Structure 1
Amino acid sequence: MRLRLGMIGGGQGAFIGAVHRIAARIDDEYELVCGAFSSDAAKSKASGLALGLAESRVYNSYHELIDQEKALPEHIRVQVISIVTPNHVHFEPAKLALESGFDVVIDKPATFTLAEAKQLEEVVARTGKSLCLTHTYTGYPMVKQARQLIAEGKIGRVRKVYVEYPQGWLSAFEEGNQDNKQAAWRTDPSKSGIAGAMGDIGTHAFNLAECVTGLSVSQLCADINTVVEGRKLDDDGAVLLKFDNGASGVLMATQIATGAENNVKIRIYGEAGGLEWQQDDANSLIVRYAGKPSEIWRTGGAYNGSFANYNTRTPAGHPEGYLEAFANLYRNFAQTLKAKAKGDKPTAEQMDYPGIQEGIRGMAFIENVIASGKSEQKWTPFNI
């Protein structure tokens, strides 16, 4: 049985809403049954009807969606609500949905502030409902393979981490461009929050580093820049990291790398070897050892571990891309919910998706990085 899915945000002209809908449908685990797709009621209605929804279940606001859906019979009402709005409209609909008995998928970063993320953690605990946070890049099979190799001690104790996310789409001033809706809200502090590039893509790099290594950042030292004249939020930055095992790292996130697209990349070096993965060649994981030729591990290889194989759909040599990585989060979340509904214990592979804890750490990263960038202190604690 498919889970009945509702969506808040993601209407016509919104990039990420379509991505969420595709990801939710790839494995046939969900059926979109309702939505409040825009704060503009007419646009919400037009978006829902274009998606083939019944007019009665296309709502004018998220308040209306939650109120009317919870009044429907249990076998009809929505079960999971996906929130794909700008950052400032994350917390309130997520809180209302959880308190109304619905599980939640929410786009990253989790909330507008760290305080809101902590409140959302309390709501999740109090309601007993579940939350999935869509940190897409952790969904790639070879990212999962890298994490498993490190957890198994294949490269020894981690010593050094380099993670980068270069983009160039904001290398010129786009805020006045009426055709660039993404720039309009992502560069607006009232909608995006206190960070620009560091909140939008720096959180992805940070999450990837912690997820793959299994370590937690304990200290940081940030250089945060606003390069394009007239911009209100950061568009470039670099962060020195210290991890809880003593390892050090460097994180770079920029949106003014002219010509760059979305080649997220991570390199990790341990006492006995190293690993390298990048989105431009997402099917490959480079494994390095001292005094030996490097190895290239590939998605679909029978030699991969259970987590990589569980999240691989196609035979070796067929690219597993961004949409599939996104879909892995939706699929794993759905299978976890279904197992719990039957009274079964989900497997570790099924429960392999980011949640509210990653959301809290992501918001803490944003607030600590911006504070560090303004501080004269070299190293600052990673406070939560």
Structure 2
Amino acid sequence: MGRKLRYGMVGGGPDAFIGDAHRKALNLDGQAAITAGCFSRTPEKNYEMGEQLGIDPERCYENAFVMAEKEGAREDGIDFVVVVTPNQSHFSICKAFLEAGIHVSCDKPLAVTADQARELKQLAEEKGLLFLVTYTYMGHVTAKHAREIIKAGEIGEIRTVMAEYPQGWLAFEGQWGGKQGSWRCDPAQSGNVNCLGDLGTHVENAVAVMTGLKVKRVLAKMDVVVPGRVLDDNDVVLVEYDNGATGVYWTSQVAIGHDNSLRVRIYGSKGTIQWFQENPEVITIIREDGRIQEVHRGHSFIAPQAASYGRLPSGHTEGWLEAMANLYASFIKCIRGKADDTFTEDMIDYPTAADGLDGLNFVEACLKSSRQGNIWVDVK
């Protein structure tokens, strides 16, 4: 395996959720250790987090741009950075690390505009650097199995897709969901969208990964339901794909009773696939003769490429952290391949900057559609 890779983190301070999740996921395989960071704009919190993680105070930086410059110049500098800040800052931070010659992992959405995402994608390509966008759910073994059996033609030609991601945590007037919710509802930090950027990009990516289809055009209705909000909290999108198939996407933060209910139903000419991320140990396949197969992770029926990511025997539940760790497993394998000149493009089994750009193209087309009276708009 060689030495542990060194990574740094921007964001993820003492009271942050997602940064801690990334660190835990990276710890699962023991292939990378955190050695640098800029965890908070508040100096006390920044150094507090660095001390908790055992980081040399000299590598606990005052801001991300100093960190990129200093780490890029060190012989023992970080191999990659993990960016887990609010959306508005993704572009400038990721760009700084790419310019410093450092591989990047960034939480979704990749940026706040498609032009920003396009620039990051092009810069990574020009520099020969790897870029992971953490659409975590596509790290699940069962999601990868869905991709493999659809690719093999087991459900025939895809005809229509129904996909949704409802939550209920921002359903109440005067309640902003604490720190995690308040920045998502703030245009200065989140950009032009809230719910569609947070949840809709997951839906777009999940369907794209599983089916291989590209969205051709959309018709969107993006609503602000809760009084006092500025950005969308409930979205319905009609979709047409490049093969002529259709779809309906629903995302919501006002659906009381739902937590993280990402669900995808894919209907083909020979059968149907149903996948629910809150029960990721199971995928349901309905055959054209009416047979219903409930396939469980950990059994030999799972496609070998998907099964290779399994960590535990069947009946021992794998979940969201394992899914994120699976994305990092592929990312780290590719970084090692870059270092020893064995890397090939087909090694990539994680969402890239190209996928992040697809998500922003989808968001911008939906925004245009909704603002112009719910009309059909082509996706770039």
TM-score range, shorter chain: over 0.9
Residue 164 in structure 1 maps to residue 161 in structure 2: no
Which of 350, 353, 360 aligns to 2:357? It is 360
CA RMSD, 1 decimal: 1.3
Q: How does 1:112-127 map to 2 (within 5 A)?
A: 112-127=112-127
Residue 370 in structure 1 maps to residue 367 in structure 2: yes
Q: Would the alpha carbon gap of residues 334 and 219 (structure 1) be closer, same or farther in structure 2, given more than 3 Å must change?
A: same
Question: 2:166·2:258 contact (CA, 8 Å) conserved in 1?
Answer: yes
Residue aligning to 1:20: 22
Question: 2:174·2:228 contact (CA, 8 Å) conserved in 1?
Answer: no
* 1:303 Cα offset (Å): 2.0
Q: Which SS does the other structure have where 1:90 is aligned? A: helix
Moved segments of 4+, more than 6 Å: none
Residue aligning to 1:263: 261
Measured against aligned partners, the alpha-carbon deviations of 1:100-138 in whole angstroms (never above 9, x if no partner) come to 111000000001211111111121122111100000111
- Counterpart of 1:16, as a letter, is I
Separation (CA, whole Å) in 2 of partners of 1:88 and 1:38: 15
Residue aligning to 2:271: 273
* 1:378 Cα offset (Å): 3.2
* 1:173 Cα offset (Å): 3.2
Q: How does 1:225-374 map to 2 (within 5 A)?
A: 225-346=223-344, 348=346, 350-374=347-371
Question: 1:104·1:131 contact (CA, 8 Å) conserved in 2?
Answer: yes
- Counterpart of 2:62, as a letter, is N
Residue 39 in structure 1 maps to residue 36 in structure 2: no
* 1:346 Cα offset (Å): 4.5
Residue aligning to 2:130: 130
Separation (CA, whole Å) in 2 of partners of 1:186 and 1:107: 13
Q: Which SS does the other structure have where 1:256 is aligned? A: coil
- Counterpart of 1:381, as a letter, is D
* 1:381 Cα offset (Å): 1.1
Among all aligned residue pairs of Structure 1 and Structure 2, give the percentage whose two residues are the same amino acid.
36
* TM norm structure 2: 0.97
Separation (CA, whole Å) in 2 of partners of 1:171 and 1:295: 36
Q: Which SS does the other structure have where 2:70 is aligned? A: helix
Separation (CA, whole Å) in 1 of partners of 2:15 and 2:376: 42
Question: 1:105·1:131 contact (CA, 8 Å) conserved in 2?
Answer: yes
Residue aligning to 2:196: 198
Residue 139 in structure 1 maps to residue 136 in structure 2: no
Question: 1:141·1:307 contact (CA, 8 Å) conserved in 2?
Answer: no
Q: How does 1:171-190 map to 2 (within 5 A)?
A: 171-173=171-173, 180-190=178-188
Residue aligning to 1:153: 153
Q: How does 1:64-79 map to 2 (within 5 A)?
A: 64-72=66-74, 74=75, 76-79=76-79
Mean Cα displacement is larger for which, 286-295 or 199-208? 286-295
Separation (CA, whole Å) in 2 of partners of 1:175 and 1:123: 40
* 1:71 Cα offset (Å): 2.8
Residue 207 in structure 1 maps to residue 209 in structure 2: no
Q: Which SS does the other structure have where 2:278 is aligned? A: helix
Which runs of 5 or more residues in structure 1 are unaligned?
none
- Counterpart of 1:196, as a letter, is N
Measured against aligned partners, the alpha-carbon deviations of 1:312-368 in whole angstroms (never above 9, x if no partner) come to 1111111110000011111110001112211214584x4100001101111111111
Q: Would the alpha carbon gap of residues 175 and 292 (structure 1) be closer, same or farther in structure 2, given more than 3 Å must change?
A: closer
- Counterpart of 1:30, as a letter, is A
Measured against aligned partners, the alpha-carbon deviations of 1:249-282 in whole angstroms (never above 9, x if no partner) come to 0100000001210021000010000100101211
Question: 1:117·1:363 contact (CA, 8 Å) conserved in 2?
Answer: yes
Which runs of 5 or more residues in structure 2 are unaligned?
none
Question: 2:80·2:102 contact (CA, 8 Å) conserved in 1?
Answer: yes
* 1:290 Cα offset (Å): 2.2
Separation (CA, whole Å) in 1 of partners of 2:173 and 2:323: 31
Separation (CA, whole Å) in 1 of partners of 2:71 and 2:12: 19
- Counterpart of 1:104, as a letter, is V
Residue aligning to 2:95: 95
- Counterpart of 1:213, as a letter, is T
* TM norm structure 1: 0.96
Separation (CA, whole Å) in 2 of partners of 1:367 and 1:175: 27
Separation (CA, whole Å) in 2 of partners of 1:87 and 1:378: 27
Question: 1:9·1:36 contact (CA, 8 Å) conserved in 2?
Answer: yes
- Counterpart of 1:344, as a letter, is T
Aligned length: 378
Separation (CA, whole Å) in 1 of partners of 2:288 and 2:143: 22
* 1:307 Cα offset (Å): 2.3
* 1:175 Cα offset (Å): 5.8
* 1:306 Cα offset (Å): 2.3
Residue aligning to 1:80: 80
- Counterpart of 2:291, as a letter, is P
Separation (CA, whole Å) in 2 of partners of 1:347 and 1:62: 29
Q: Which SS does the other structure have where 1:313 is aligned? A: coil
